[in-house]
Amino acid sequence: MATLTLHPGRERSLLRRHPWIFDTSVAALSGRARPGDTVAVADERGQVLARAAWSPESRIRARAWTFDPAETVDDAFFKRRVAAAVARRQAIPGLADQQGLRLVHAESDGLPGVIADRYGDTVVLQLTSAGAERWRSAIVGAVARATGCPRIYERSDSEVRALEGLGPETGWRLGAPSGDPVVIDENGVRLRVDVEGGHKTGFYLDQRDNRLLLRRLAAGKRVLNCFCYTGGFSLQALAGGAERVLSIDSSSPALALARESLALNPGLDPARAEWREADVFEDLRRLREAGERFDIVVLDPPKFAPSAAHAERASRAYKDINMNALRLLEPGGLLMTYSCSGGIGVELFQKIVAGAALDAGKRTGAGARILQRLQGSPDHPVDLAFPEGEYLKGLLVEVD
């Protein structure tokens, strides 16, 4: 096994159990290592602190698999880690019975670069690091063994793989398509999931609890759902008794899937749902010019800032949509606003929304306050030593 030696003082983050080792921390690599190979990580004195996956193409030059220098990284290692991650979900009340569930959440489950989401009897796997790529076969086997699911589909097609020097990889790794659409029941609402062509692994499981919150707030309300994708928030609002739900997205395939999901729920009134294919930035302005008003607006946009380098430009985009959404709210209305951008922290996001509320209130004299901070559902845990794992942040804001 090759040994990666750190510059003096650069072992501090490893001692705090942070799994990333950046290129600027690496003093030398002794021995040969191919992308994804396991290397020993040592401080300047030669004391081994961890075993990590080597990634020569990435700024994150290595990702720690284990902080136990004596632990071997092999097939059995992945069986243990995946089984432990699945068991943790089963132990959380309310999660064990969910048909759509994140089973493995990368670094926060001790498996950097590994995402596994279950939709019924199908697991969608996403591998985003050189180490995960190297151990694909072991990971597939571990997921199959821990879940008993007959089908595993790989969706390793995210752009972050290019930073690791990896191309896209997709396909069935276990089993084959059943021939029937993949459908899950989420808190009493049936949802169609496109595991092969949808966003991420097919759906946004991290918003499960926030969708349920909207359902509890929606009775008798006029709801606007922006960046609605396949309508998860929209259908929960309808299930909660919303008077009207207008859902906007720029993707016609996503809206078609949303309509299919609505048809799967005969108890929901399609006359109360309107699906609109449009650019949200432009349509928010059109709605305001048309004098439209809503009781609840949901903003769940795509990732505007994948890293801190994109934060300034992304901040302007977040402020624009939040300002225009706030102007559409009735007095006492609610804004459910989110950012999934890793480059936008919790404090910065609040400042952006506060600035948007100030600008929106200049015309109305209205104020705004945070009723609740929103985050991902508990199957998307955040390791205490890895704050980067807290990518989804949200606010429930009430306006005067």
Q: What amino acid positions are annotated as catalytic residues?
A: 340
Rounded Cα–Cα distance for residues 121 and 219 (Å): 33
The sheet with strand 122-127 has its strands ordered as 100-105, 114-119, 122-127, 151-156, 169-174
Residue 3 CB-density burial (10 A; 0-12 exposed, 13-18 middle, 19+ buried): middle
**What are the backbone dihedrals phi and psi of residue 331, each rounded to the nearest 5 degrees, phi first?**
-55, 135
Instruction: Tell me the angle at which helices 75-90 and 136-147 cross, rounded to the nearest 10 degrees.
Output: 40
Longest dimension (CA), the chain: 70
Rounded Cα–Cα distance for residues 231 and 222 (Å): 15
**What are the backbone dihedrals phi and psi of residue 399, each rounded to the nearest 5 degrees, phi first?**
-110, 150
Rounded Cα–Cα distance for residues 281 and 301 (Å): 10
Sign of the torsion formed by the C-alpha atoms of 314, 315, 317 and 321:
positive
Cβ pair 314, 349 in contact under 8 A? no
Q: Read off the amino acid at residue 268.
A: L
**What are the backbone dihedrals phi and psi of residue 169, each rounded to the nearest 5 degrees, phi first?**
-135, 120
Cβ pair 299, 336 in contact under 8 A? yes
Rounded Cα–Cα distance for residues 170 and 18 (Å): 30
Rounded Cα–Cα distance for residues 197 and 100 (Å): 17
Residue 248 CB-density burial (10 A; 0-12 exposed, 13-18 middle, 19+ buried): buried
Rounded Cα–Cα distance for residues 243 and 344 (Å): 34
What ranges in the chain are assigned the alpha helix state H? 12-15, 75-90, 130-134, 136-147, 208-217, 232-239, 252-263, 280-289, 311-326, 346-364
